[in-house]
Amino acid sequence: MSGSALPRVAIVTNETPGSEVAAERLRAVLGTVSIDDADYVIALGGDGLMLQTLHRVMPHGTPVYGMNFGSVGFMMNDYAEADIVQRLQSAQRTKIYPLSMEVLDASGKRRIALALNEVSLFRSTHQAAKIQIAVDNEIRLDELICDGILLSTPAGSTAYNLSAHGPILPIEAPLLALTPISPFRPRRWRGAILSNRAEVRFVLHEAEKRPVSAVADNIEIQNVREVTVREDRSHGVTLLFDPGKSLEERVLSEQFKF
């Protein structure tokens, strides 16, 4: 891309009428290219669309600039068409890394999925799950009886993790949040903050009687027997934010809300 040429920008939307109209106006200025050929991707929607888009661009490392057209826009910028090229080129960059979830299911099959927000385990029936938790091959909790548990990245710590009363992590902190969901026993256990170098293994007790699903962002695997989670530094995605409105600042501000 030469200094005077427009950057190649792909535009994706959440397919609402408003976002579709806005996308057409932006394409009239920026042109139309595919995500595979883009220098930047603009996502018009909410945080759900942003997560989907980040997974799509992960193989290419293309930076993503979100503009809010959804109900939740924590990872999005305010919508504005003016000076869009300058906004893209002057945006602050935040790189985040996913968690790798390796699952052993009831059939003995192993599957791997990536999660930018969190890996979650959920009970699938009326009966509570029974989960053993090991960190770096050392059993830390022999049996947690609960509705579920999640392991969150700093980027995901303000999402479901926060709703489950987990800690908010600074975006660049080398940490992960391990948070139980409706723990029954031990009732007072509220989770742990772990190094991002830790490997966490969940082993399901009485798995046939108490089936559990594992979810990596939007990928769900049912009837799991064992789930191993670690950060994957071989993948990464870049989010773009207007100056002064970085993801770091948003996470910090979230900690002072009441």
Positions marked catalytic:
47
SS (H, E, C) the chain: CCCCCCCCEEEEECCCHHHHHHHHHHHHHHCCCCHHHCCEEEEEECHHHHHHHHHHHCCCCCCEEEEECCCCCCCCECCCCCCHHHHHHHCEEEEECCEEEEEEECCCCEEEEEECCEEEEEECCCCCEEEEEEECCEEEEEEEEECEEEEECCCCCCCHHHHCCCCCCCCCCCEEEEEEECCCECCCCCCEEEECCCCEEEEEECCCCCCEEEEECCEEECCEEEEEEEECCCCCEEEEECCCCCHHHHHHHHCCCC
Q: Annotated binding site for NAD(+), which residues?
A: 47-48, 117-118, 147, 155, 158-163
